[in-house]
Structure 1
Amino acid sequence: MSKKQLIMDSALDLFAKQGFEATSVQQITDYCGISKGAFYLSFKSKDELIIALIDHFMEAFISDIDYIVKTTNNEELLYSFYYTNLQSFHKHSDFGKIFIKEQTHSLNQDLLGRIRYYNALMDSTILLMVERLYGEEITHIKYDLMYCIKSFVTMYSELFLFNNVVSLDLDLDLLAHSLVEKTNLLAKHTSIPFLTKEIIQVVSQTTDDKVKREQLLELLEQNIKEMDEPIIKESLILLKQQLLNPNLSPAIVAGLLENIQKNPHCKWVSYLLRHYFQI
């Protein structure tokens, strides 16, 4: 394990128990048995470490959910969405506690801005799913339904994260099916909308999430240098060439994205490229 990963793992344990604000750099270095100097070789500040943790988990989480929404057939989509969300919070319970608590307790504006950024990405993914599943029939209530779906995930995750339920053998399959039923009932019977596009735009207030080609090229180059698996590396190289000189069909690009999606280190670049190429 690298020193940077050791620091992140140790800090995650402390943050889950004490929160961001109550945990000092000294406590983190004592916990993982390194000097402050070693800490600052990896991270410039505690805030930078916190952002790195948020990015590490949320990039993988968002890319997985987005992939499910764009590739799963309609009959299984809503169940797969709920099950994957709940399983992820259950598996990464320490991070889940931090992510939920800090949205309401933190005074760190940079951190809150980062959390809002990922929340906005999740909103757009859920909205896409809602439009796919229910079509024009729910146009008038789609934003309310989007928030209900998001709230189901948050509320039920909080149930087993903050009430010692996480240690039990939870039937996530049953819970996912239950939430599918509730969502379908809401989609069918809700008739009084509240949320509008204008309200959603005001609530989001995030920076533009479109990534420029130059940023993608830089990220691809970094992944290419770090990758050892031949098929993944070749796929990354071809995707980089596609950015520089587009000549591949959408089907081939989709296949290349499918290749790199399977690698945990390439999930985020896969997500960004899917949006860039609109696949």
Structure 2
Amino acid sequence: MKEKEKRIIEAAMSLFAKKGVTSTSIQDIVNECGISKGAFYLYFKSKDALLLETFKYHFELIHSKMQSVREENLEPRALLIKQLSCQFSEINKHKDFIIMQMRENAVPNNPSVAAFIQKMNAEASLLVKNGLASIYGDSINPFIWDMTAILQGMIHSYLKYIIFDKAELDFEALSVFLVNRIDDMVSGLIRSDEKPILSGDELTLFSPCSGISKDDLLQAISHYKLKVSGDLLVTLEVLEAEIQEPEPRTAVIQGMLANFSQDSALSDLKESISYYFQIK
């Protein structure tokens, strides 16, 4: 991202948070940045297009922090706790921007933003689901989506206190507390004769395929290509070429995804591609 583009996005986020999207004009934004309207339109076609980019920028800030945590090679429980703590911390930093979204109901009025928010929610849910699967293994498989929904619900409940009541919480202690509560629930479910309420086949809420595009997949592949080498790099290059085909061959994609078992860091990408192409 070019420095001027980043400056425009950061200025817009600040103004949107203070004044709201509707009350912020393009002139306000260019004045804040010290640029001309002509320079603005070199990067963004409209204020709506800029609004979408502010969401993407906010998401990428959180995603990059999460990725750096993952690269610490922590054991699964410590990893999930640190990811949750990181999520709370990053959202807290930008809570004024989030309040603006809620206040102005910006999502339904901008279909592109709505689709992107759906994608972000799906990725957040997959992060939780994969974290729980890594901690509890096969014992939790029948209830994995129920436990994902429960933990997501608890996260959202505490976020309301953090965002709207401006509660000053210890995010690490909160994350440990939440995972301990999941321990209690998993223990109870394993001892019970209850049947799961949710299953993967019934869910669209957690599925990234409803909000993800081929371009999203290709962008993610490009991101991971910078971080791997050898056979995994070749696998990503083959996947990239196949997805770019007018009619991608599912069998080829499925074969390439089988190679991802070598690296758990690629599990989110594997799941997104599998959902998109309906590979079981």
TM-score by length of 2: 0.67
Q: Which residue does the alignment assign to 2:12?
A: 11
Q: Which residue does the alignment assign to 1:183?
A: 182
Gapped runs of 5+ residues in structure 2? 240-258, 274-280
Please state if 1:93 is matched with 2:95. Answer: yes
8 Å CA contact retained: 2:7, 2:33: yes
Judged with a 3 Å threshold, the aligned counterparts in structure 2 of structure 1 residues 13 and 67 are, in CA distance, closer, same or farther, namely closer
> How far off its partner does 1:237 sit?
11
The percentage of aligned residue pairs carrying the same residue is 24
Q: Which residue does the alignment assign to 2:111?
A: 109
- Structure 1 stretch 118-127 or stretch 25-34: which is displaced more? 25-34
1-structure distance, mates of 2:178, 2:217? 41
8 Å CA contact retained: 1:65, 1:84: yes
> How far off its partner does 1:206 sit?
3.5
Judged with a 3 Å threshold, the aligned counterparts in structure 2 of structure 1 residues 120 and 26 are, in CA distance, closer, same or farther, namely same
1-structure distance, mates of 2:35, 2:138? 57
> How far off its partner does 1:65 sit?
3.4
- Structure 1 stretch 127-136 or stretch 96-105: which is displaced more? 96-105
2-structure distance, mates of 1:26, 1:11? 11
Q: Which residue does the alignment assign to 2:201?
A: 198
2-structure distance, mates of 1:274, 1:196? 16
2-structure distance, mates of 1:202, 1:17? 31
Judged with a 3 Å threshold, the aligned counterparts in structure 2 of structure 1 residues 237 and 215 are, in CA distance, closer, same or farther, namely farther
8 Å CA contact retained: 1:103, 1:112: no
Alignment-mate amino acid for residue 183 of structure 1: I
2-structure distance, mates of 1:182, 1:35? 53
| Cα RMSD, aligned residues only | 4.4
TM-score by length of 1: 0.68
8 Å CA contact retained: 2:128, 2:148: yes
Q: Which residue does the alignment assign to 1:28?
A: 29
| CA deviation profile, 1:130-149 (whole Å, cap 9, x unmatched) | 22222233333221210122
| CA deviation profile, 1:92-114 (whole Å, cap 9, x unmatched) | 33444456667785321111001
Gapped runs of 5+ residues in structure 1? 225-231, 259-268
- Structure 1 stretch 199-208 or stretch 147-156: which is displaced more? 199-208
Alignment-mate amino acid for residue 184 of structure 1: D
